[in-house]
């Protein structure tokens, strides 16, 4: 336990009332002096250390895995649970960026400047999305001890402006201790047409008619692990396997969706009751546990119309299929390790970044990008997508009621500070090093405790310096004693949680919590985050069903004081609303616009520029000037942003200049010249003039196309231009990665000829 943690625990007991400095040194009671112990650990041959495999699931709730009472079959996670342990009182941050930064650094989210989501950064140390160099990752520490380090899948805890091909790459996996990376730099991506990066370079997905990202990630994992054979002896590995599943989009192969046909027709109320009974029988929840009340906006299943029931049941079938398919691909990685004889000496960790997500709003959504644009489709608006739900024509998310069921019996969901947002599954096995088989542990464990525990098991001391930067202590504590001793104490005695005004603190089986922003799909809330504390005895009432604040005001005061101590120690203040990120980032964009003189210029093709890090083409009129050297009759993209379910592109269709906009249902509006351009050098111009608009409502748009100063076409139409085309697709010059905006060219294939410079100019008359 660090000195800081000891002082905070003492504060909880009323023994210390002084504020705690956030950078006090780590203390431990080794049998030998600390320096000698560190030297002894460092002398352990690398090949004798265990491999480390961490599967970080996304938006998977406490009750969605079959080994945690869930109704989704996850036999390979069950296999890990049977080989080791399930932790029933493991907690994480309420959102992905924060929890991922914490699990990899071993520090509290706000300590490493990731108090919320990286895309909603604010100009405060706890929220600016810039992990300090003094908070070196688990990967960097293991790499220094001789490990090969691999990251696969989702990586979204980095500043927006560095999500581009120019870097710098200090916050990418390559700058955070990983030798190799294959995945995507966003909150999510299209599982059928992902926007992929290998190391620091864009890469096209493999050509495969049955492609799905999770199978690709498993292939890459097996290949990376196997690549170590080029060294003799092979080094141990650390694999951070971060699937996008089960974050939206919920995508699965059609045959997997068919497996769950009819399985959820009974609805979420019956599902919650069945899951809780299974949890109590398995010892995951105490006898007498009550279900958390349904939150506002979640109706009783029996009150729904037949159309709503049909839609919602289909949504859950697709979600179950996506999680089940991911489990099957994870099983292939386990099989490969078993076949090579390495599974026995591999520490396997399976967990989730936060509770199940209600971001689909009350009715779910056929395209997650709608919620980003403050549009929440109704049952009637979703029904036309019913049969294609979960396939490449959708980018779906289920209704909030399934998130509540997925967190059974806990209260609320992702982004809230109630247990439904923070309490998630943790499965851990190490056949050679953990004797327990299939047991349940009830100790309170925090996400920041994972890294120090894995370092402990690997016998790797925390590095004094990484990249010549002196390292700060980890906030988390090793829970290694609990692996062998079910009666070992929890590593921490108190732990805060906070996300944009939703606050809580756990201490000794009690929790205080506030209810600030409960409609987590709505990012516009701007009221002061000062709701009163609720109090729950979570050891006896994990569903947080009985608020005891009025009965025990002294307990509330004690825990509130402790929250304040931790908030000051861990960089939590000032506490702000998520809505404040938009004007902050809009002002930064205005400053960038002024600095560039209203022009973005790309001398040569450039791609993989995150939408929120690029020019504001979705918001303002603009002109594009592109110098081209053409092959006559060719097809290909000049400029593209977004994809087939929302985007815009300037391209050639068999030599004919075309500008296209797709709305978030995938419907195109096309503006085209009447004849192809000749071969050779050409300067192509596009003018887009538009009326100001709000949200997704169609606005009058006029598009003019010119070549070498001569007008080719000019026409007007009512067009819906989404303020944001999503979080996954990028701005590309001379290519269109991910899914193609237009069907006239192939995604990932460069423009057929010379292109550049390309200029986007916002200085319109």
| pTM tops 0.85, yes or no | yes
Domain boundary (443, 459, 481) is at 481
Which residues are 428's β-sheet partners? Answer: 85, 349
Hey, is 669 helix, strand or coil?
A: strand
Q: Are 686 and 703 in contact (CB under 8 A)?
A: yes
The mean per-residue pLDDT over the stretch 221-231 comes to 97
Q: Which residue has the higher pLDDT, 337 or 161?
A: 337
452 C-beta neighbours (distance < 10 Å), count: 25
Domain boundary (481, 506, 528) is at 481
pLDDT tens for residues 158-182?
Answer: 999 999 999 899 999 999 999 999 9
Q: Are 2 and 472 in contact (CB under 8 A)?
A: no
**One domain, residues 620 and 750:** yes
- Model pLDDT, residue 47: 74
pLDDT tens for residues 24-44?
Answer: 223 333 333 334 444 445 567
From 645, 549, 65, 657, select the one nearest 319 (Cα to Cα).
65
**One domain, residues 457 and 604:** no
Q: Report how far Cα 203 is from the mean position of its chain's Cα atoms.
A: 21
- Model pLDDT, residue 372: 93
Q: Quote the CA–CA distance of 34 and 30 in Å, as a whole number.
A: 6
Query: Following CA atoms 33, 38, 44, 50 in sequence, which dihedral angle do they give, to the nearest 10 degrees?
Result: 120
Question: What sign results for the dihedral spanned by CA atoms 199, 201, 205, 207?
Answer: negative
Give 19's pLDDT tier (boundaries 50, 70, 90). very low
Q: Quote the CA–CA distance of 683 and 627 in Å, as a whole number.
A: 4
- Of the listed ranges 28-42, 407-421, 741-755, the least confidently predicted one is 28-42
**One domain, residues 336 and 470:** yes
Which residues are 754's β-sheet partners? Answer: 629
pLDDT tens for residues 625-650?
Answer: 999 998 888 899 999 999 999 999 99
- Model pLDDT, residue 718: 96
For residue 221, tell me if it sits in a domain. yes
Question: What whole-number percentage of the chain has pLDDT above 90?
Answer: 91
pLDDT tens for residues 175-202?
Answer: 999 999 999 999 999 999 999 999 999 9
pLDDT tens for residues 425-435?
Answer: 999 999 999 99
For residue 517, tell me if it sits in a domain. no
For residue 577, tell me if it sits in a domain. no
From 728, 741, 742, 641, select the one nearest 195 (Cα to Cα).
728
For residue 516, tell me if it sits in a domain. no
- Model pLDDT, residue 80: 98
- Asked if residue 682 has pLDDT above 50, the reply is yes
The mean per-residue pLDDT over the stretch 436-445 comes to 98
Hey, is 429 helix, strand or coil?
A: strand
- Model pLDDT, residue 34: 36
Domain boundary (451, 481, 511) is at 481
Q: Judge residue 287's burial from the number of C-beta atoms within 10 Å of its C-beta, 0-12 exposed, 13-18 middle, 19 or more buried.
A: exposed
CATH code, 713? 2.60.120.200
- Asked if residue 60 has pLDDT above 60, the reply is yes
- Model pLDDT, residue 42: 53
**One domain, residues 59 and 198:** yes
- Asked if residue 589 has pLDDT above 60, the reply is yes
From 77, 88, 80, 75, select the one nearest 429 (Cα to Cα).
80
Which residues are 649's β-sheet partners? Answer: 640, 660
Query: What 8-state DSSP symbol labels residue 367?
Result: B
- Model pLDDT, residue 7: 37
For residue 572, tell me if it sits in a domain. no
From 56, 76, 84, select the one nearest 332 (Cα to Cα).
76
Which residues have C-beta within 8 Å of that of residue 339, sequence separation ≥ 6? none
CATH code, 395? 3.40.720.10
Number of domains composing the chain: 2
For residue 504, tell me if it sits in a domain. no
Q: Judge residue 300's burial from the number of C-beta atoms within 10 Å of its C-beta, 0-12 exposed, 13-18 middle, 19 or more buried.
A: exposed
For residue 566, tell me if it sits in a domain. no
pLDDT tens for residues 601-618?
Answer: 999 999 999 998 999 999
Q: Quote the CA–CA distance of 227 and 179 in Å, as a whole number.
A: 12
The mean per-residue pLDDT over the stretch 711-740 comes to 96
Hey, is 48 helix, strand or coil?
A: helix
Mean pLDDT estimate for the chain: 93
- Model pLDDT, residue 765: 65
Question: Listing from the earlier edge strand, what are the strands of the sheet with 180-184?
Answer: 201-203, 196-198, 180-184, 148-154, 237-242, 51-57, 346-352, 426-429, 85-87, 439-441
- Model pLDDT, residue 256: 98
Question: What whole-number percentage of the chain has pLDDT above 70?
Answer: 94
- Asked if residue 4 has pLDDT above 50, the reply is no
**One domain, residues 204 and 68:** yes
For residue 34, tell me if it sits in a domain. no
**One domain, residues 473 and 603:** no
Q: Which domain holds residue 753?
A: 599-761
Query: Following CA atoms 242, 151, 450, 322 in sequence, which dihedral angle do they give, to the nearest 10 degrees?
Result: 10
């Amino acid at each position: 336990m660090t000195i800081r943690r000891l002082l905070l625990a003492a504060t909880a007991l009323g023994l210390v009332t002084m504020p705690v400095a956030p950078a006090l040194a780590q203390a431990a009671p080794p049998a030998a002096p600390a320096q000698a112990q560190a030297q002894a650990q460092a002398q352990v041959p690398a090949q004798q250390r265990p491999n480390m495999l961490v599967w970080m699931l996304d938006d998977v709730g406490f009750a969605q895995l079959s080994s945690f009472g869930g109704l989704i079959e996850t036999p390979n996670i069950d296999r890990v649970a049977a080989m080791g342990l399930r932790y029933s009182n493991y907690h994480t941050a309420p959102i992905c960026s924060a929890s991922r930064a914490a699990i990899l650094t071993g520090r509290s989210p706000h300590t490493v400047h990731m108090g919320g989501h990286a895309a909603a950064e604010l100009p405060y140390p706890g929220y600016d999305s810039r992990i300090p160099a003094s908070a070196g990752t688990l990967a960097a520490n293991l790499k220094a001890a001789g490990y090969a380090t691999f990251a696969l899948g989702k990586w979204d805890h980095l500043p927006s402006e560095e999500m581009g091909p120019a870097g710098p790459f200090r916050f990418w996996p390559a700058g955070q201790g990983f030798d190799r990376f294959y995945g995507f730099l966003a909150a999510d991506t299209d599982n059928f047409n992902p926007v992929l990066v290998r190391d620091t370079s864009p890469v096209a997905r493999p050509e495969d008619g049955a492609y799905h990202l999770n199978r690709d990630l498993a292939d890459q994992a097996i290949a990376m692990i196997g690549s170590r054979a080029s060294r003799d002896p092979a080094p141990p590995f650390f694999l951070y396997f971060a699937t996008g599943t089960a974050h939206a989009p919920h995508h699965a192969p059609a045959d997997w969706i068919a497996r769950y046909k009819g399985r959820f027709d009974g609805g979420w109320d019956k599902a919650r009751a069945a899951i809780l009974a299974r949890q109590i029988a398995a010892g995951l929840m105490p006898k007498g546990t009550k279900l958390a009340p349904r939150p506002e906006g979640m109706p009783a299943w029996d009150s729904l119309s037949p159309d709503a029931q049909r839609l919602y049941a289909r949504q859950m079938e697709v979600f179950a299929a996506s999680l089940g398919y991911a489990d099957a691909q994870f099983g292939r990685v386990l099989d490969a390790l078993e076949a090579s004889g390495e599974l026995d000496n591999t520490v396997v960790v399976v967990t989730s970044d936060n509770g199940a997500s209600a971001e689909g709003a009350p009715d779910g959504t056929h395209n997650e990008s709608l919620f980003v644009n403050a549009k929440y489709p109704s049952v009637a608006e979703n029904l036309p997508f019913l049969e294609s739900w979960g396939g490449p024509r959708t980018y779906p998310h289920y209704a909030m009621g399934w998130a509540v069921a997925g967190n059974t019996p806990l209260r609320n969901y992702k982004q809230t500070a109630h247990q439904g947002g923070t309490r998630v599954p943790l499965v851990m096995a190490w056949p050679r090093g953990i004797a327990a088989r299939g047991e349940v542990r009830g100790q309170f464990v925090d996400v920041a405790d994972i890294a120090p525990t894995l370092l402990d098991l690997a016998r790797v001391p925390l590095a004094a310096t990484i990249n010549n930067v002196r390292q700060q202590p980890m906030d988390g504590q090793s829970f290694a004693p609990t692996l062998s001793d079910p009666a070992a104490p929890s590593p921490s005695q108190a732990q805060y949680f906070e996300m944009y005004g939703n606050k809580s603190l756990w201490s000794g089986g009690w929790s205080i919590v506030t209810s600030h922003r409960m409609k987590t799909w709505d990012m516009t809330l701007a009221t002061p985050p000062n709701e009163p504390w609720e109090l729950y005895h979570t050891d006896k009432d994990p569903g947080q069903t009985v608020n005891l604040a009025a009965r025990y005001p002294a307990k509330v005061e004690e825990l509130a004081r402790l929250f304040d101590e931790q908030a000051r120690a861990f960089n939590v203040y000032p506490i702000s609303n998520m809505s404040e990120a938009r004007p902050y980032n809009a002002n930064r964009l205005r400053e960038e616009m002024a600095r560039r003189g209203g022009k973005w210029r790309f001398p040569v093709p450039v791609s993989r520029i995150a939408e929120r890090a690029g020019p504001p083409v979705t918001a303002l009129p603009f002109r594009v000037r592109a110098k081209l050297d053409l092959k006559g009759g060719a097809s290909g993209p000049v400029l593209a942003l977004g994809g087939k379910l929302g985007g815009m592109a300037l391209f050639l269709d068999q030599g004919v200049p075309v500008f296209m906009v797709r709305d978030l249902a995938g419907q195109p509006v096309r503006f085209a010249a009447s004849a192809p351009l000749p071969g050779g050098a050409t300067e192509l111009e596009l003018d887009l003039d538009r009326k100001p608009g709000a949200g997704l409502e169609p606005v009058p748009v006029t598009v003019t196309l010119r070549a070498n100063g001569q007008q080719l076409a000019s026409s007007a139409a009512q067009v819906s231009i989404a303020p944001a085309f999503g979080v996954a697709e990028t701005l590309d010059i001379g290519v269109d990665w991910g899914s193609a905006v237009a069907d006239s060219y192939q995604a990932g294939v460069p423009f057929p000829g010379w292109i550049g410079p390309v200029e986007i100019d916002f200085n319109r008359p």
